[in-house]
C-alpha cells in the first residue's frame, strides 16, 4: 500500500520558472492538503481540498495554485517561482472527521535560485 | 481563527527519563481535536497520538501520553522512558469541528534530543 506519493522528491528551479508538484493517494480519502515546512515555522498550510472538486486557501496561499484533479490526485503549481518559495513541501490526505489522522507523503525539497 | 503554539524550539533529555513537550492552542470551535506528530531526521511525518476535546480521559499510546488541560488550552505530550530513537522534531496540530474536511493546523515544532 503506497499511501501518499509525491513527485518529484528534489527540484531546483530558477527564479521565474514554473513547476507542478504532484500528489496522489490510494486510501480513498476525501481530504487532501499541501503544506510547506521551513525552519522555525513548522508546517504551514498552503491549500486544502475537503472533497473532489473543492479547494480552499490555507495560511500561506500566495504564489501557489492547486488542482484537485480527481479523488486521488491533488497538485500544487508554482507559476513564477521565487527564492522565498524554497522549502520542503508535504502533501497529506485524511478521511473527513474531527479525529482522523493525516497521512503524509515523503516531501519534496524545492530550491529556487 | 485557530492557532497552535509550541514555545520550546529545542529540548534535551537524558535517556530513560521522561520529557514533556509543550503545546498551547487557541480556537473558538466548541469541539476540536489535537494531534501530535513525530518527524525523525529522515523527514517522514509519523502520527503519535490524538485527543478529542470532549474525551473524558487523557489519551495514551504506549510511552506517549497527552496531558490535556482544557481550561488552560494546553495539550502537552509526555514521553516516558526516553530512547535514543525519540530524537526528532515533534509537532502539535489541531482541527476544529467546523473544519472537519481540512485545516489541520500545526505548531512550530520542538526538536528533542535524547542524550545517552
Q: Specify whether the CB–CB gap between A111 and A14 falls below 8 A.
A: no
Predicted confidence band of residue B101 (pLDDT cuts 50, 70, 90): low
B24-57 pLDDT tens trace: 999 989 999 999 999 999 999 999 999 999 998 9
The rounded Cα B42 to chain-centroid distance in angstroms is 19
Do the bridges between strand A103-104 and strand A87-94 make them parallel or antiparallel, or are there none, so unpaired? antiparallel
Interface test with A, best of B37, B101, B105, B109 (most A CBs within 10 A): B101
Q: Which residues contact B62 (CB under 8 A, 6 or more apart)?
A: none
**Window from A52-66, A95-109, B98-112 with minimum mean pLDDT:** B98-112
Find the closest chain B residue to A57 by CA distance: B103
What is the pLDDT at residue B2? 87
Percent of chain B beyond pLDDT 90?
88
- Which residues, in sequence order, are bridge partners of residue B92? B36
Beta carbon pairs, A and B, within 8 Å: 71
Write down the mean pLDDT value for chain B.
Answer: 94
pLDDT at B61 over 70: yes
Q: B32-39 and B46-52 as β-strands: parallel, antiparallel, unpaired?
A: antiparallel
Q: Is B64 in the A-facing interface, judged by CB distances under 8 Å?
A: no
Is the Cβ of B49 closer than 8 Å to some Cβ of chain A? Answer: no
Interface test with A, best of B102, B105, B109 (most A CBs within 10 A): B102
The DSSP bridge pattern shows strands B60-61 and B32-39 to be unpaired
Chain A CB contacts of B32 under 8 Å are 98
| A67/B contact by beta carbon, under 8 A | no
| Burial class of residue A78, CB neighbours in 10 A (0-12, 13-18, 19+) | buried
Tens digit of each residue's pLDDT (9 = 90 or more) over A4-58: 999 999 999 999 999 999 999 999 999 999 999 998 899 999 999 999 989 999 9
Taking alpha carbons only, the member of A111, A107, A113 closest to residue A3 is: A107
Calculate the alpha carbon distances from B56 to A98, B51, B64, B65, B75 in Å.
16, 10, 17, 14, 14
Amino acid at each position: 500500500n503506497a499511501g501518499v506519493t509525491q513527485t518529484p522528491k528534489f527540484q531546483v528551479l530558477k527564479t521565474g520558472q514554473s513547476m507542478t508538484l504532484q500528489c496522489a493517494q490510494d486510501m480513498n480519502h476525501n481530504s487532501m492538503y499541501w503544506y510547506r515546512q521551513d525552519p522555525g515555522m513548522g508546517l504551514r498550510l498552503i491549500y486544502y481540498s475537503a472533497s473532489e472538486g473543492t479547494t480552499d486557501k490555507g495560511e500561506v496561499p500566495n504564489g501557489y495554485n492547486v488542482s484537485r484533479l480527481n479523488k486521488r490526485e491533488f497538485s500544487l503549481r508554482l507559476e513564477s517561482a521565487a527564492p522565498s518559495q524554497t522549502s520542503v513541501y508535504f502533501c497529506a490526505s485524511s478521511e473527513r472527521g474531527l479525529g482522523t489522522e493525516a497521512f503524509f507523503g515523503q516531501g519534496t525539497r524545492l530550491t529556487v535560485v | 481563527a485557530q492557532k497552535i503554539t509550541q514555545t520550546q524550539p529545542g529540548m534535551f533529555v537524558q535517556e530513560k527519563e521522561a520529557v514533556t513537550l509543550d503545546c498551547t492552542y487557541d480556537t473558538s470551535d466548541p469541539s476540536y481535536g489535537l494531534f501530535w506528530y513525530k518527524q525523525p531526521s529522515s523527514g517522514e511525518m509519523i502520527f503519535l497520538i490524538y485527543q478529542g476535546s470532549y474525551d473524558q480521559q487523557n489519551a495514551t499510546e504506549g510511552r506517549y501520553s497527552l496531558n490535556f488541560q482544557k481550561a488552560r488550552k494546553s495539550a502537552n505530550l509526555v514521553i516516558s522512558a526516553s530512547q535514543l530513537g525519540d530524537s526528532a522534531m515533534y509537532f502539535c496540530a489541531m482541527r476544529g469541528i467546523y473544519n472537519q474536511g481540512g485545516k489541520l493546523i500545526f505548531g512550530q515544532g520542538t526538536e528533542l534530543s535524547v542524550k545517552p
